[in-house]
Amino acid sequence: MKTAFRDIRDELRRRIIANEWPPGGLIPNEVDLCAEFNCARATVNRAMRELAEEGLIERRRKAGTRVRDVPRKQATFEVPVVRKEIEARGSRYQFTLLSREAMPAPAWLCARLEIPDNSPVLHLTCLHCADGHPYQFEDRWINLKALPQAKQADFSNVGPNEWLLATVPYTDAQISFGALNSDPDLAHHLGCKAGDALFVAERMTSFQDEPITYVRMIHQRGHQMTMRY
Amino acid sequence: MKTAFRDIRDELRRRIIANEWPPGGLIPNEVDLCAEFNCARATVNRAMRELAEEGLIERRRKAGTRVRDVPRKQATFEVPVVRKEIEARGSRYQFTLLSREAMPAPAWLCARLEIPDNSPVLHLTCLHCADGHPYQFEDRWINLKALPQAKQADFSNVGPNEWLLATVPYTDAQISFGALNSDPDLAHHLGCKAGDALFVAERMTSFQDEPITYVRMIHQRGHQMTMRY
């Protein structure tokens, strides 16, 4: 019976998983594998191609084929829009604008956004609630030179997050995750204790190379962000 | 002069960004746009196709074309391998195995991994250092029913993270990010203060539907995980 490429692929995969062919090591060349499996070169080639696509092996024209050292893994997540996040849990979403002030940008923000000293910015703080319980505190800065229309925008019903998504349809962004200890002011808004560890997502957004906004999204105690990959 | 599809595309994009055509709203149909721009239907169609690919508009055969409500954004990150993370910063990586114990799985772990009560597991705690400074505390549990060879493995030089990557080459995983307050024991290992807010990544990994491992990676104070999208 002819050996199918699938059988060869599965057997080669088994050897890699069983560590018979260790990570980083060379595996036999196609000619030797053809002899072992008593099949055509094209059949072995097809099996190898699929293992390469799975990320298990790395093929180099002259250097031969190796078992990948550390498999590359990537995870993808949908950048969260807080209203949709809350509604997806089946909860009622509620937005509150806590403060709003146009001012010259503080020095740390100028450095972060790479904008000139004292650039005009709009500073907003907001609370996003789920079923009446604090869910996220939003500390938002908007570069008014890039988006002068923000000065007139009404943020009392629609938060700056959604206003920006609607106003600046596509953008480059950088997102960071970290943790901070709640200060008394945050604790008051989120209904937790001062000192509690809170999960923070920071985002910096540009549109056509112009810095648009910087935001810190500080989540309720115990909040987790989960994704599969 | 004939109008190029690029000019039409750029003008339609400008109207969307300037909010002349608001999010969620219908835009004029192709026939009207042909009349406005005095061009062939194919030219308008090509412009619309590109805007749809950019995620700015949504085309429905019968319902017409709308400006996308909230543009979908996805971010992708390379799942971190702590040694590579540290070396990428130009720092010297150092691994220390702090404890190792085979035991029946505690109830919370059985629930988390969906394994039977008292399943045999291997519990390891490890410290990853960068240039001699604590960088990450690893709290690792391995399901010995799925990976009995872990019992014999030597984790004194190669940590369980890399051992697992080499032993179980590809897997399904779930990753979560959050924050916790350091307890005195963690504070001792990481050289921070009890109560400090620390960034935590949790990962649960399966191979061919069998739960393999659960790990909590607790990072030094101030640690941030950053990605662009």
pLDDT digits (tens, 9 = 90+) for A22-69: 878 899 999 999 999 999 999 999 999 988 877 778 888 888 898 887
Could you tell me where the beta strands, DSSP code E, fall in chain A?
A: 57-60, 64-67, 74-78, 93-104, 120-130, 133-143, 172-181, 197-207, 210-219, 225-228
Which one has a higher pLDDT value, A99 or B24?
A: A99
pLDDT band at B6 (very low <50, low <70, confident <90, very high): confident
Distances in Å between the alpha carbon of B47 and those of A161, B3, B17, B42? 29, 11, 16, 9
Helix segments in A3-121, DSSP class H: 5-17, 30-37, 41-53, 82-88, 107-113
User: Residue length, chain B?
Assistant: 229
DSSP string, chain B: -PPPHHHHHHHHHHHHHTTSS-TT-B---HHHHHHHHT--HHHHHHHHHHHHHTTSEEEETTTEEEE-SS---EEEEEPP-HHHHHHHTTPPEEEEEEEEEEEEPPHHHHHHHT--TT-EEEEEEEEEEETTEEEEEEEEEEETTT-GGGGT--TTTS-HHHHHHHHS---EEEEEEEEEEPPHHHHHHHTS-TT-EEEEEEEEEEETTEEEEEEEEEEPTT--EEEE-
Helix segments in A107-217, DSSP class H: 107-113, 160-167, 184-190
CB contact under 8 A, B177 and A225: yes
Domain topology for A5-67 = Arc Repressor Mutant, subunit A (1.10.10)
Q: Give the model's pLDDT for residue A171.
A: 67
CB contact under 8 A, B226 and A174: yes
Range with the poorest average pLDDT among A154-158, B169-173, B198-202, B213-217? B169-173
Q: List, by residue range, all CATH 3.40.1410.10 domains of chain B.
A: 82-219
- DSSP bridge pairs for A97: A126
pLDDT exceeds 80 at position A7: yes
Q: Residues of A numbered 107-146 whose beta carbons fall under 8 angstroms of chain B's beta carbons: which are they?
A: none
Reported ipTM: 0.71
User: Distance (Å, rounded) from C-alpha A218 to C-alpha B76?
Assistant: 21
Q: What is the mean pLDDT of residues B18-27?
A: 82
Chain B positions touching A50 (Cβ under 8 A) are none
Query: What percentage of chain A has pLDDT greater than the value 70?
Result: 95
Q: What CATH class is the domain A82-219?
A: alpha beta
CB contact under 8 A, A76 and B74: yes
B197 touches chain A (CB under 8 A): yes
Which burial class, exposed, middle or buried, applies to A119 when counting CB atoms under 10 A from its CB (0-12, 13-18, 19+)? middle
A81 touches chain B (CB under 8 A): yes
pLDDT exceeds 60 at position A82: yes
Chain A positions touching B162 (Cβ under 8 A) are 70
Compare all CA atoms of chain A with the CA of B164 and give the residue at the minimum distance: A70
User: Distance (Å, rounded) from C-alpha A59 to C-alpha A66?
Assistant: 7
Q: List, by residue range, all CATH 1.10.10.10 domains of chain A.
A: 5-67
Range with the poorest average pLDDT among A3-17, A117-131, B68-82, B92-106? B68-82
CB contact under 8 A, B228 and A172: yes
